[in-house]
């Protein structure tokens, strides 16, 4: 028999694409959730994203209005890091930067109780690089969710050489309590899925640079030819072009293998502020009913 899960209050730091999804599923699963964002504007945008997703679930009859209201009442929002002090687990989903993440975890380390687990949703950094900056490397794991969080069933639960067995088991049980299917992964950059998925997305950009076909035709090719749910460029826009660029830089720095290197076109698109679906433009323009491919 599995031990009773002793996690009640969940902290989620960052309420962008991923943090909003993580906060939503945690609240829907019955946990009290404290969400932290950098400022009032970002917090309000994150709050709206969660509310819209919950309302949509009610509209689609996947969630009752009572369950939505109950989930909403379990969520609280703050711009203050000390607001997370009482959490049993804190899941970080902020920008993909080791410096920013370590600044956050160092502050949290001085605020949270001994029993609090720290978890990062990083795509490409190693958990070791964050855990080593705290006084609790034994209570530090990776919890890597997939986008869109409410839909994708997988969570990679990542242990470093310092993660205690008890912490890993608690994190694994917690992922199950969120209704997800956890898999155990070692702490290498890219864990399991991104090791394979990131080179695929970058390769699609390289083929585009070589002029193999258009954005739409490459997407249609992979969707209809391989049965993938979306083509690689729609996927890049889903993930976020800025995030993909950071992931690529981090993985290339780690492995020094060309397949992880950011293609120049990726950098150009980031420079132009086309961050993907979240900003309205990436490989596609997302402002209308249907995405329209943009010049590259």
Indicate which residues carry an active-site annotation.
Answer: 123, 144, 156, 194
Choice from 31, 146, 172, 245 touching ligand CAA (CB under 6 A): 146
Phi, psi of 133 (to 5 degrees): -85, 0
Least distance (Å) from ligand NAD to the CB of residue 220?
A: 22
Contact window for ligand CAA (CB under 6 A) among 110-118, 130-138, 140-148, 177-185: 140-148
From the number of C-beta atoms within 10 Å of its C-beta (0-12, 13-18, 19+), residue 281 rates as buried
Convert residues 31-60 into a mask of x (bound to ligand CAA by CB under 6 A) and - (unbound): ----------------------x------x
Contact assessment for residue 275 and residue 253, using Cβ atoms and an 8 Å cutoff: no
Residue (of 140, 130, 134) closest to 162 by Cα position:
140
Residue (of 206, 296, 223, 192) closest to 260 by Cα position:
206
120 binds ligand CAA (CB under 6 A): no
Phi, psi of 5 (to 5 degrees): -75, 125
What residues line the site for ligand NAD (CB under 6 A)?
A: 13-19, 36-38, 42, 93-96, 100, 104, 121-123, 145, 147, 239-240, 243, 247, 278
Least distance (Å) from ligand CAA to the CB of residue 83?
A: 26
Q: Helix or strand or coil: residue 51?
A: helix
CA 208 distance to own-chain centroid = 26
Least distance (Å) from ligand CAA to the CB of residue 60?
A: 6
Contact assessment for residue 29 and residue 56, using Cβ atoms and an 8 Å cutoff: no
Choice from 78, 147, 164, 207 touching ligand CAA (CB under 6 A): 147
Question: Cβ closer to ligand NAD: 122 or 163?
Answer: 122
Q: 73 CB contacts (<8 Å, ≥6 apart)?
A: none
Contact assessment for residue 93 and residue 12, using Cβ atoms and an 8 Å cutoff: yes
What is the spatial distance between Cα 75 and Cα 172, in angstroms, rounded to a whole number? 22
236 binds ligand CAA (CB under 6 A): no
60 binds, among ligand NAD, ligand CAA, none (CB under 5 to 8 A by kind): ligand CAA
Q: Would you call the peptide bond into 72 cis, given omega within 30 degrees of 0 as the criterion? A: no
DSSP 281: B
123 binds ligand CAA (CB under 6 A): yes
Question: Cβ closer to ligand NAD: 167 or 243?
Answer: 243
Contact window for ligand CAA (CB under 6 A) among 110-118, 145-153, 161-169, 261-269: 145-153
Question: Cβ closer to ligand CAA: 151 or 226?
Answer: 151
**44: which strand partners?**
none
152 binds ligand CAA (CB under 6 A): yes
Least distance (Å) from ligand NAD to the CB of residue 93?
A: 4
Choice from 11, 46, 142, 150 touching ligand CAA (CB under 6 A): 150
**Per the structure block, which two tokens stand in for 279?**
């900003």
- Would you tell me which residues interact with ligand CAA (CB under 6 A)? 53, 60, 123, 146-148, 150-152, 194, 197, 229-230, 235, 239
């Amino acid at each position: 028999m599995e031990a009773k899960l002793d996690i009640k209050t969940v902290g989620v730091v960052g309420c962008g694409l991923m943090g909003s999804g993580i906060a939503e599923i945690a609240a829907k699963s019955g946990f009290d959730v404290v969400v932290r964002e950098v400022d009032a504007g970002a917090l309000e945008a994150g709050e709206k994203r969660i509310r819209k997703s919950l309302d949509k679930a009610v509209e689609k009859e996947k969630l009752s209005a009572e369950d939505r209201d109950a989930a909403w009442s379990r969520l609280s929002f703050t711009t203050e890091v000390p607001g997370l002090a009482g959490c049993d687990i804190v899941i970080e989903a902020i920008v993909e930067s080791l410096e920013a993440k370590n600044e956050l975890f160092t502050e949290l380390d001085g605020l949270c109780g001994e029993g609090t687990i720290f978890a990062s949703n990083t795509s490409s950094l190693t958990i070791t690089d964050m855990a080593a900056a705290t006084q609790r490397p034994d209570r530090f794991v990776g919890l890597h969710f997939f986008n869109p969080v409410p839909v994708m069933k997988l969570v990679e639960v990542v242990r470093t050489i310092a993660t205690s067995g008890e912490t890993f088991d608690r994190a694994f049980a917690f992922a199950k309590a969120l209704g997800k299917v956890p898999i155990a992964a070692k702490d290498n950059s890219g864990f399991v899925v991104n090791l394979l998925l990131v080179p695929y997305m970058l390769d699609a950009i390289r083929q585009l640079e070589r002029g193999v076909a258009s954005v739409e035709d490459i997407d249609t090719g992979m969707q209809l030819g391989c049965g993938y749910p979306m083509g690689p460029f729609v996927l890049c826009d889903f993930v976020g072009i800025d995030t993909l660029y950071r992931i690529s830089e981090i993985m290339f720095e780690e492995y020094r293998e060309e397949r992880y290197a950011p293609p120049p076109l990726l950098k150009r698109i980031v420079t132009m502020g086309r961050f993907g679906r979240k900003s309205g433009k990436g490989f596609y323009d997302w402002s209308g009913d249907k995405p329209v491919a943009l010049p590259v």
